Amino acid sequence: MKVEIMSSGFGGQGALTIAKFLTKAAMKEGKHVTWLPAYGPEMRGGTANATAVISDEEIASPIIGQSDILFALNQPSLDKFGPSVRPGGLMIVNSDMCPNPLGRDDVEVVNIPLNTLAKEIGNTKVLNMIAIGVVIEKRQIIKFETIVSDLTKFLEKKNPALLELNIKAIRKGMEFVK
């Protein structure tokens, strides 16, 4: 199994965090991983992105030409990276920020109102965790328990309330696509 992931959105939406948490969880599960974020002016509101590769075997390069999974958190991300999703791939599209679909029928598209769902949970910063819940349910590239363990270690002492919101957000994403 080898999965190539592109995660992209406006700086501050958590696109880089999606790829980071997926790779951290996969690594804990004994998989080989790479994570390659794009830093720079993107962090100030432009479009930021990160690639992740998760594999059962060693990975030759962190650079991907096509992705198996795309997280498009805004329209510029969908426009830029949507055409390079492999046929049969998965596009998780934030329908609140992507009003113009690409119209591809050779990939599975999950249009999900991430901003709206995050507001319902109580914090717009958890929209990335909702997206992670979608990919856990749809592709099982990592286990729910593994990411919860990672989040617990990361947030338990720092911000327990945010930990509960993040777990709730992952579950919300999983439930959305069941």
Task: Give the count of beta carbons closer than 10 Å to the beta carbon of residue 10.
Answer: 20
Q: What are phi and psi of 11, to 5 degrees?
A: -55, 130
pLDDT at residue 42 above 70? no
The 10s digit of each residue's pLDDT in 52-95 is: 999 999 999 999 999 999 999 999 999 999 999 999 999 999 99
Helix-then-strand count for the chain, H and E:
6, 6
| Residue 47 confidence (pLDDT) | 79
Determine the average pLDDT of the residues in 144-169: 93
Which residue's entry shows tokens 């830093």?
Answer: 39
What are the domain boundaries of the chain? 2-176
Q: At what angle do helices 160-176 and 114-121 cross, to 10 degrees?
A: 140
How far apart are alpha carbons 143 and 146 in whole angstroms? 5
Superfamily the domain 2-176 falls into = Pyruvate-ferredoxin oxidoreductase, PFOR, domain III (3.40.920.10)
How far apart are alpha carbons 170 and 152 in whole angstroms? 13
Strand, coil or helix: 79: helix
State the pLDDT confidence band at 126, using cuts at 50, 70 and 90.
very high
